Structure 1
C-alpha cells in the first residue's frame, strides 16, 4: 500500500477522532474463493490481503489525531477448533490481543481496538445467546456487540458470492429471536445492508425500539453492476429511506464507506489518487443528508479501512470528511468525530 504521491497537509490535526469502523485480517489464504481478480471489489482486497496491526498503526500515525478505534467483524481469524457456532470467538480473542498490545503505550497514545464488534449467527435463534456470552467472555473489557450483515441483491455481480446474505434476513422470525438476545445483554448491533434494503433496517428498528442499532456506510449507495450509472436516479429513494430510518431514535449512522467499490464514488481504484476536495464533493450529498436526518449526536465518521482504500488513502479520507465539516461548530465536530462513537460504543474514557 505504498503511495508515491505528495501527501496532503493534514487538516485540523488536533481534532480528536475515534475511528469506529475498521477491520484486521489476513485474506491471503482465502483469495482463491473470491471471484477473479478483475472483479470490482476484489482488486482492492488483493492489495490489502494482509492488513493487521502494523498496517493499521501506520495509518493511525498519518497525522490525524486518532485517539481510539473500534474493530468491526470481518470473519477473520476464526477458531476452527471451537466448531461452527463458536468459531467467531477466535476473532474477538485475536483482536483483544491486538488491543492489549496497543494499550501498552509502546506504539503511541492512541488506543486501537478499544471497542470490539464481533459476529454471532443470529439465525441460531435464542441459542445465539450462548455465543454472545462467549464473545463477551473473550474480551470482557472491550467487547461491545455484533454485526450480522444482511447485504443482498438480486444481481449477484453487485456483491460477489462470498458476501451474499439471504434475502430478507432482517425480517426473518428466527433471526429476530436471536436479535432479541442482544437486548438482554445490553449489546449493540451494526447493520450492513445495501441501499435497496434500507426498508428492512427500518422495519427491524421499529420492531425493537430499545435496541441500539448502527447503520453502516450511509446505507451503501450502489453504483456498480445493475446499478451502474444509477446513483442520481436512486438518490431520492435513498434519501427518503434515510429520513424515515432517522425517525427511529434507537438508530445512529456511520458516515463513510463511500470510497468502497460498491458505491462507485469514485469509480476508479484502488487508491485512484483523487484529492480530498474532489472526494468531499462526491460524498457531500450523502454525508450532508445523513447529518441533516440524524443530527451530529447520532452520526459518526468512519474510515472503513482497509476496504475504503479503493478510493482514498487514510489521511486523504479524513481530510475529505474535514472539508465537509468546515462550517460545523466545535460541538458538532466533537460529536461527529468522536462523541457519538464514544457514547454508542461505551468509549467515553477515551475522551478524557
Structure 2
C-alpha cells in the first residue's frame, strides 16, 4: 500500500532490525510451514541494499541499530566464538554506510550481537572478541529466552530452554557480562514476562531492553486469546516498568507470533488499520515506561508480515500524535540514541 509520509522531517533511529541470508532456512521447511517461515520467505536475503531501500522510502531515518539474528556466524571458530562473525559482517555494513557515499545516513551505527551467557565466567573472552570486532560500534548482546510449552507457537527455528533467565548458569554469565557496562536485549514471550522482571531485579545496575512490547501471543494455542490475556500482559508490563534499568521497544507486534494483524505476509494494510490494532499495547507501554525509556522499532524484515516499512512508521506516528515534540523526539530517536550510545548521529534539535 502506498501512503503519503507523515511528519517526514522527524528524525528516526530504527533501533531494531536484522541482516541475514536465511534462504537455506526457508528452503529447509517444506509446506506446510510455520507462520514465521512464511513471514521471512519474502525477505530471506536482507543485507545493506535491502535495508537501504526500506529506510529510504520517505521517512527521515538517520541511523539504525542492528539486532543479532544468528546470521553470518564464523564457521571456522569454536562454538562460543562463532557469533563474532556476525558482528564482523555487520561492522562492514556499518562502514559501508559511514563511507559518505550515502549522505548522513548511518546504518548499524550500533551493533547488538550474541554471546551464550550459560558459559558463565567463560563468556568474558567472547565479549571481548565482540567488542574488538565492533570497532566501537558494538553496544551489547541479546540472548533470547523465548519458549512455550506449545511447540507450534515458535516453530522450529527457536530452541531456548524453559526458564533460561532464571538458571544458575545464565545468572553466572550475566554476572560476568554485567562487568562490561553494555546493554542486554531480552526477547521472550508474554507468559514469560515474570522471568525478565526477576532478572532486572537481580541485576539492578544492568541496562535491559525488553523487545517487542513483551510479545503478546495470538498464534497456535493462543489464537483468539489476545483480548482475554491483555490484562495479564498489562500488569506484567507495569511491574517491569517499575525497574528503572529496563527500557522497552515499541514494535514487533506485526510478527506472526502476535497476530496483529492475523493475516500476512504483507497483505497491504494501511497505517490507520495497523495503528488501531497496536494502540492498546503501544499506549500501555508508553504510559508505563514513559517516552524516555521507550523507543519505536521496525523489527524489519520480520514485521513485513503486517506492514511495509513506510506504512509501519506512519502507524507509529499516528500512535504518537498526542505526544509533545520533546516526547516524539525521544520515542523516535532520542531514547535509542542514549541507550545505545549513538547520540553523535542525531541532528541538532
Instruction: Please state which band the TM-score falls in when normalised by the shorter chain.
Output: over 0.9
Give 1:283's aligned residue.
278
Structure 1 residue 62 corresponds to structure 2 residue 57: yes
Query: What do residues 186-213 of structure 1 show as CA deviations (whole Å, max 9, x unaligned)?
Result: 1100000000000000000000000000
- State the shift of 1:34 in Å: 4.0
- State the shift of 1:262 in Å: 0.4
Query: What do residues 59-86 of structure 1 show as CA deviations (whole Å, max 9, x unaligned)?
Result: 1101000010000000000001011110
Give 2:230's aligned residue.
235
Give 1:52's aligned residue.
47
Which of the numbers 10, 16, 33 marks the counterpart of 1:21? Answer: 16
Corresponding residue SS for 1:149:
coil
Deviation beyond 6 Å, 4+ runs, structure 1 = none
Give 1:157's aligned residue.
152
Corresponding residue SS for 1:166:
coil
8 Å CA contact 1:37–1:43 kept in 2: the answer is no
Q: Distance in 2 between matches of 1:229 and 1:138?
A: 44
- State the shift of 1:37 in Å: 4.9
Corresponding residue SS for 2:295:
strand
Q: Distance in 1 between matches of 2:31 and 2:91?
A: 33
8 Å CA contact 1:271–1:310 kept in 2: the answer is yes
Which of the numbers 238, 241, 247 marks the counterpart of 1:246? Answer: 241
Instruction: State TM-score, norm by structure 2.
Output: 0.98
Which of the numbers 61, 79, 82 marks the counterpart of 1:84? Answer: 79
Alpha carbon RMSD of aligned pairs, Å?
1.0
Structure 1 residue runs without a partner (length 5+) = none
Which of the numbers 205, 214, 219 marks the counterpart of 1:219? Answer: 214
- State the shift of 1:105 in Å: 1.7
Which of the numbers 144, 169, 172 marks the counterpart of 1:174? Answer: 169
Query: What do residues 305-352 of structure 1 show as CA deviations (whole Å, max 9, x unaligned)?
Result: 000000000000000000001111000001000010011000110124
Q: Distance in 2 between matches of 1:37 and 1:226?
A: 17
Q: Distance in 2 between matches of 1:338 and 1:61?
A: 16
Corresponding residue SS for 1:82:
coil
Instruction: State TM-score, norm by structure 1.
Output: 0.97
Corresponding residue SS for 2:151:
coil
8 Å CA contact 1:35–1:160 kept in 2: the answer is no
Which of the numbers 317, 334, 339 marks the counterpart of 1:322? Answer: 317
Q: Distance in 2 between matches of 1:290 and 1:315?
A: 22
Q: Distance in 2 between matches of 1:35 and 1:20?
A: 33
Taking a change above 3 Å as real, the CA distance of residues 124 and 131 of structure 1, as seen in their structure-2 partners, is same
8 Å CA contact 1:182–1:188 kept in 2: the answer is no
- State the shift of 1:183 in Å: 1.6
Structure 1 residue 31 corresponds to structure 2 residue 16: no
8 Å CA contact 1:148–1:191 kept in 2: the answer is yes
8 Å CA contact 2:91–2:135 kept in 1: the answer is no
Give 2:298's aligned residue.
303
